[in-house]
Amino acid sequence: MEKFFSNNRKWVAEQLKQDENYFKRLAEGQSPEILYIGCSDSRVSAETIMGTEPGEVFVHRNIANLVPNTDFNVMSVINYAVCHLKVKHIVVCGHYHCGGVAAAVDTCDFGVLNPWLRNIRDVVRLYQEELDTCEDEEARQKRLIEYNVYEQCMNLLKISEVQKAVAELGLKIHGWIFDIETGLLNDLRLDYRKMLDSIKCIYPRK
């Protein structure tokens, strides 16, 4: 473990060499414009793939980048980001070769993980007919990963604070996919306003 502390000291030295007030400014507070909700997968580091610095992105990660409205962890992050940090963008970023999605389509019993994976299995149920038309299992999983991002963005839009920020502050919702095989980020270009209009009668803002 010592290598991590060594790496940290080197990083600190490099930052101070470039700017002696770097950490002083970091300690003064944060004002990120983006909330990034991504997967906990060790291969997908938000700051690395986006090329950002500390303080630029508010990050929440969990298995398969889910936004279940019953999870107080993710809901607290969203509330803080939207109501206090006043972020201008929320990104839900999935990635191909996602172990969480692969587990969700497996018939094995994953014990304590089952309730979490059920959120992804619900996406399978919603899009079962189209998923069954995919040419092979890899294509099927990739399509499911994209649908999962779409549905998690939809879950975001069900939240009253998010609806209010979209209407009053111009908050934008984005769905991205990180392709591990190429290293590239892909924008699904979701029409979040149309998505919101489609659910307003069911999930009205209070």
Q: Which residues are catalytic?
A: 39, 41, 43, 95, 98
Separation of first and last alpha carbons in the chain: 49
Give the tokens for residue 56: 């630029």
Helix (H, G, I), strand (E, B) or coil at 52: coil
Query: Within 13 Å of residue 154, how many CA atoms lie on the same side as its CB?
Result: 15
The rounded distance, in Å, linking the Cα atoms of 170 and 88 is 7
What is each CA distance from 44 to 67, 82, 95, in whole angstroms?
18, 24, 8
